[in-house]
Amino acid sequence: MEVKEVKKMLDPEFNFMFDIINPVVQDLKLGKDAKILDIGTGRGRMAITLALNNYKVITGEPESDNSEYAKQGWLEDAKKVKVDHLINFKPFNAEQLPFKDKSFDAIFIMGALHHIDDKASTIKECIRTIKTNGIICIFEPTNKGIKIMRKGFPTHPEAVDPRDYTQNFQLSVEIKKNFMFNIYIFKKLN
Protein backbone atom coordinates (compact mmCIF):
# COMPACT_ATOMS: atom_id res chain seq x y z
CA MET A 1 0.00 0.00 0.00
CA GLU A 2 1.30 3.46 -0.90
CA VAL A 3 2.29 5.80 1.93
CA LYS A 4 -0.13 8.52 0.71
CA GLU A 5 -2.99 6.04 0.90
CA VAL A 6 -1.94 4.89 4.38
CA LYS A 7 -1.80 8.48 5.61
CA LYS A 8 -5.35 9.09 4.39
CA MET A 9 -6.60 6.02 6.26
CA LEU A 10 -4.94 6.66 9.62
CA ASP A 11 -5.15 9.61 11.99
CA PRO A 12 -2.95 12.72 11.85
CA GLU A 13 -0.96 11.52 14.87
CA PHE A 14 0.11 8.43 12.94
CA ASN A 15 1.19 10.61 10.01
CA PHE A 16 3.20 12.84 12.33
CA MET A 17 4.92 9.86 14.00
CA PHE A 18 5.44 8.01 10.71
CA ASP A 19 7.37 10.99 9.35
CA ILE A 20 9.70 10.78 12.39
CA ILE A 21 10.05 6.98 12.58
CA ASN A 22 10.21 5.94 8.92
CA PRO A 23 13.45 7.73 7.93
CA VAL A 24 15.22 6.12 10.90
CA VAL A 25 13.91 2.65 9.98
CA GLN A 26 14.98 3.10 6.37
CA ASP A 27 18.44 4.45 7.32
CA LEU A 28 19.12 1.30 9.37
CA LYS A 29 18.95 -0.79 6.18
CA LEU A 30 17.93 -3.95 8.00
CA GLY A 31 17.77 -7.13 5.97
CA LYS A 32 14.26 -7.98 4.78
CA ASP A 33 14.38 -11.21 6.79
CA ALA A 34 15.51 -9.42 9.96
CA LYS A 35 14.00 -10.67 13.20
CA ILE A 36 12.57 -7.58 14.90
CA LEU A 37 11.15 -6.91 18.36
CA ASP A 38 9.13 -3.82 19.29
CA ILE A 39 8.94 -3.25 23.06
CA GLY A 40 5.91 -1.26 24.21
CA THR A 41 3.19 -1.55 21.58
CA GLY A 42 1.03 1.37 22.71
CA ARG A 43 -0.75 2.76 19.63
CA GLY A 44 1.33 0.52 17.38
CA ARG A 45 3.10 3.34 15.57
CA MET A 46 6.47 1.57 15.52
CA ALA A 47 5.11 -1.89 14.69
CA ILE A 48 2.90 -0.55 11.88
CA THR A 49 5.73 1.54 10.42
CA LEU A 50 8.03 -1.49 10.44
CA ALA A 51 5.32 -3.61 8.80
CA LEU A 52 4.73 -0.92 6.15
CA ASN A 53 8.42 -1.42 5.32
CA ASN A 54 7.62 -5.15 4.84
CA TYR A 55 9.27 -6.31 8.06
CA LYS A 56 7.75 -8.99 10.24
CA VAL A 57 7.72 -7.78 13.83
CA ILE A 58 6.93 -9.15 17.25
CA THR A 59 5.45 -6.46 19.48
CA GLY A 60 4.28 -6.52 23.04
CA GLU A 61 3.71 -4.99 26.42
CA PRO A 62 2.75 -6.48 29.78
CA GLU A 63 -0.65 -8.14 29.78
CA SER A 64 -1.28 -6.48 33.15
CA ASP A 65 -0.56 -2.95 31.83
CA ASN A 66 -3.82 -1.06 32.08
CA SER A 67 -2.24 2.39 31.87
CA GLU A 68 -3.56 5.08 29.57
CA TYR A 69 -0.58 4.40 27.26
CA ALA A 70 -1.16 0.68 26.64
CA LYS A 71 -3.44 -1.33 24.37
CA GLN A 72 -4.67 1.58 22.29
CA GLY A 73 -6.30 0.01 19.26
CA TRP A 74 -3.15 -0.71 17.25
CA LEU A 75 -4.65 -3.84 15.71
CA GLU A 76 -7.55 -1.96 14.10
CA ASP A 77 -5.09 0.47 12.49
CA ALA A 78 -2.86 -2.41 11.31
CA LYS A 79 -5.90 -4.08 9.72
CA LYS A 80 -6.97 -0.84 8.01
CA VAL A 81 -3.64 -0.63 6.20
CA LYS A 82 -3.42 -4.41 5.66
CA VAL A 83 -0.22 -5.11 7.62
CA ASP A 84 -1.72 -7.01 10.56
CA HIS A 85 -0.38 -10.29 9.10
CA LEU A 86 3.18 -8.95 9.58
CA ILE A 87 2.68 -8.07 13.27
CA ASN A 88 2.62 -10.66 16.03
CA PHE A 89 1.49 -9.37 19.43
CA LYS A 90 2.87 -11.25 22.41
CA PRO A 91 2.29 -10.05 25.97
CA PHE A 92 5.62 -9.77 27.79
CA ASN A 93 7.50 -7.90 30.45
CA ALA A 94 10.49 -5.94 29.10
CA GLU A 95 12.49 -6.66 32.26
CA GLN A 96 12.27 -10.43 31.59
CA LEU A 97 11.93 -11.02 27.87
CA PRO A 98 10.60 -14.50 27.01
CA PHE A 99 13.06 -14.97 24.15
CA LYS A 100 16.29 -16.93 23.74
CA ASP A 101 19.71 -15.28 23.74
CA LYS A 102 20.62 -13.62 20.42
CA SER A 103 17.09 -13.95 18.98
CA PHE A 104 16.80 -10.58 17.24
CA ASP A 105 18.56 -8.51 14.61
CA ALA A 106 16.89 -5.33 15.82
CA ILE A 107 14.96 -4.19 18.88
CA PHE A 108 12.95 -0.96 18.93
CA ILE A 109 11.66 0.91 21.97
CA MET A 110 9.52 3.82 20.82
CA GLY A 111 8.84 6.29 23.63
CA ALA A 112 8.43 3.51 26.18
CA LEU A 113 11.69 3.19 28.13
CA HIS A 114 10.79 6.01 30.52
CA HIS A 115 7.53 4.17 31.36
CA ILE A 116 9.34 0.96 32.39
CA ASP A 117 10.11 0.60 36.10
CA ASP A 118 13.40 -1.31 35.84
CA LYS A 119 15.20 0.33 32.95
CA ALA A 120 18.55 -1.34 33.72
CA SER A 121 17.01 -4.83 33.51
CA THR A 122 15.23 -3.89 30.29
CA ILE A 123 18.48 -2.76 28.65
CA LYS A 124 20.24 -5.89 29.92
CA GLU A 125 17.49 -8.06 28.41
CA CYS A 126 17.74 -6.21 25.09
CA ILE A 127 21.48 -6.85 25.02
CA ARG A 128 20.95 -10.52 25.91
CA THR A 129 18.39 -11.08 23.15
CA ILE A 130 20.08 -9.06 20.39
CA LYS A 131 22.51 -10.76 18.00
CA THR A 132 26.12 -9.62 17.67
CA ASN A 133 26.12 -6.53 15.41
CA GLY A 134 22.41 -6.19 16.10
CA ILE A 135 20.70 -2.85 16.62
CA ILE A 136 18.83 -1.53 19.66
CA CYS A 137 17.00 1.63 18.58
CA ILE A 138 15.47 3.68 21.40
CA PHE A 139 13.32 6.77 20.81
CA GLU A 140 13.11 8.97 23.91
CA PRO A 141 11.28 12.30 23.94
CA THR A 142 13.09 15.62 24.08
CA ASN A 143 12.00 18.27 26.59
CA LYS A 144 9.84 19.81 23.86
CA GLY A 145 8.42 16.36 23.10
CA ILE A 146 7.48 15.86 26.76
CA LYS A 147 5.69 19.24 26.79
CA ILE A 148 3.68 18.21 23.73
CA MET A 149 2.83 14.80 25.24
CA ARG A 150 1.71 16.39 28.51
CA LYS A 151 -1.03 18.26 26.66
CA GLY A 152 -2.82 14.92 26.27
CA PHE A 153 -1.29 13.11 29.26
CA PRO A 154 -0.58 15.69 32.02
CA THR A 155 1.21 13.18 34.28
CA HIS A 156 3.52 11.89 31.54
CA PRO A 157 6.91 10.95 33.08
CA GLU A 158 10.20 12.60 32.23
CA ALA A 159 12.34 11.06 29.49
CA VAL A 160 15.53 9.14 30.30
CA ASP A 161 18.90 8.81 28.63
CA PRO A 162 19.39 5.10 27.83
CA ARG A 163 23.18 5.58 27.89
CA ASP A 164 22.86 5.75 31.68
CA TYR A 165 22.06 2.01 31.59
CA THR A 166 24.56 0.81 28.96
CA GLN A 167 27.94 1.74 30.46
CA ASN A 168 28.91 -1.83 31.39
CA PHE A 169 28.27 -3.25 27.92
CA GLN A 170 30.20 -3.24 24.67
CA LEU A 171 27.96 -1.13 22.50
CA SER A 172 28.55 1.62 20.02
CA VAL A 173 26.01 4.43 19.97
CA GLU A 174 24.86 6.93 17.39
CA ILE A 175 22.40 9.65 18.38
CA LYS A 176 19.99 11.28 15.95
CA LYS A 177 17.95 14.23 17.12
CA ASN A 178 14.83 15.99 16.05
CA PHE A 179 12.55 18.37 17.90
CA MET A 180 10.40 15.55 19.30
CA PHE A 181 12.81 12.67 20.01
CA ASN A 182 16.40 11.78 20.69
CA ILE A 183 17.01 8.52 18.86
CA TYR A 184 19.72 6.30 20.34
CA ILE A 185 20.99 3.63 17.96
CA PHE A 186 23.09 1.10 19.84
CA LYS A 187 25.03 -1.63 18.06
CA LYS A 188 26.10 -4.73 19.96
CA LEU A 189 29.80 -5.27 19.40
CA ASN A 190 30.18 -8.80 20.77
* pLDDT class of 130 with cuts at 50, 70, 90: very high
Question: Is residue 146 over pLDDT 50?
Answer: yes
Determine the 3-state secondary structure of 138 from DSSP. Answer: strand
Between CA 185 and CA 119 the distance in angstroms is 16
**64-104 confidence digits (pLDDT tens):** 655 544 456 788 899 999 999 999 999 999 999 999 999 99
Between CA 111 and CA 181 the distance in angstroms is 8
Domain boundaries, the chain: 3-188
Between CA 141 and CA 131 the distance in angstroms is 26
* pTM for this entry: 0.93
At the top level of CATH, which class does the domain 3-188 belong to?
Answer: alpha beta
Mean of pLDDT values over 129-141: 96
The answer to whether the CB of 116 falls within 8 A of the CB of 151 is no
Between CA 57 and CA 54 the distance in angstroms is 9
Mean of pLDDT values over 158-186: 95
- Calculate what percentage of the chain has a pLDDT beyond 90: 72
What pLDDT score was predicted for residue 148?
87
**23-54 confidence digits (pLDDT tens):** 999 999 999 999 999 999 988 999 999 999 99
The answer to whether the CB of 97 falls within 8 A of the CB of 141 is no
Mean of all residue pLDDT scores within the chain: 91
Question: Is residue 3 over pLDDT 90?
Answer: no
What pLDDT score was predicted for residue 11?
86
Between CA 39 and CA 58 the distance in angstroms is 9
* pLDDT class of 1 with cuts at 50, 70, 90: confident
What pLDDT score was predicted for residue 157?
87
What values do phi and psi take at 17, rounded to 5?
-70, -40
